[in-house]
Structure 1
Amino acid sequence: MAAREIDTEAIQEYKALIQEQLDHLDEIIPRLKKGQVLGRLPAFGQLDASATARTNYETFHSTTWDNLQNLRVALSGMMATLQDSADLSEESDDAAVTELNSYEGEL
């Protein structure tokens, strides 16, 4: 059976990439809050289609907000999982070194 190895450098690089995405989301999300640039409802006027346009816009805005929040949670979860993997890899490496040293001592 092949041994599994965790590349801690690759984990750190991937964490950096995810952190960049989280930082980008942290810039975008506040702009979608009520009263901010992207959080204001456009003036659709008084035409018959304006009620439909308003409803469609509100649905789109709400869906976008929810999707961004869910993406943020997912990326944060990925960061935590990657950190746990890196920590467990270090623990495993330390245990292997200790076991190898004790085995060598018995020889």
Structure 2
Amino acid sequence: MPKVDPEALRAYQRTVQAQLDKLEDEIISQMRNGQPLGKLPAFGVLDGSEQARTTYTTFHETTWNNLQALREALDGIVNSLEDTAKQHEDSDDASGQDFDNQL
């Protein structure tokens, strides 16, 4: 069975959490309705403006969905690391108690 380094788990968890926070605070927040990247540009009424509007809308929606998927993945990693660290701590506690009981 591979050995678990709880400090390495916690360090990686902090790194992933920092990336998740950055994604949520600096990128996703700017793409919400009413924010700078959440507003549809004024394409006007010239030839091609309708196509530009459609292309932009599709791009924005795809980007939003990809960012949400990334956010969910990062959140899942953070939760998995937390669960793994907790299981390791519980296992260490149980092993310590077994050892003490055998003395």
TM-score in terms of structure 1 length: 0.87
Residue in 2 that maps onto 1:48: 47
Q: Report whether the alignment pairs 1:14 with 2:45.
A: no
Structure 1 residue ranges, 4+ long, deviating more than 6 angstroms after superposition: none
Aligned residues: 102
Identity of aligned residues (%): 48
Shift of 1:20: 0.9
Q: How does 1:56-75 map to 2 (within 5 A)?
A: 56-75=55-74
Q: For the residues of structure 1 that align with 2:2 and 2:47, how far apart are their CA atoms?
A: 63
Q: For the residues of structure 1 that align with 2:64 and 2:23, how far apart are their CA atoms?
A: 11
Q: For the residues of structure 2 that align with 1:98 and 1:20, how far apart are their CA atoms?
A: 35
Q: Secondary structure at the match of 2:65?
A: helix
Q: Aligned AA for 2:57?
A: E
* Unaligned stretches of 5+ residues in structure 1: none
Residue in 1 that maps onto 2:93: 94
Q: For the residues of structure 1 that align with 2:78 and 2:16, how far apart are their CA atoms?
A: 7
Larger gyration radius, structure 1 or structure 2:
1
Deviations 1:11-48 (A, max 9, x none): 11111111111111122212111121111111222222
Q: Aligned AA for 1:18?
A: V
* Larger RCO, structures 1/2 (Cα 8 Å, 6+ apart): 2
Q: For the residues of structure 1 that align with 2:87 and 2:32, how far apart are their CA atoms?
A: 39
RMSD over aligned CA atoms reads 1.2
Q: For the residues of structure 1 that align with 2:33 and 2:95, how far apart are their CA atoms?
A: 54
TM-score in terms of structure 2 length: 0.90
Shift of 1:101: 2.2
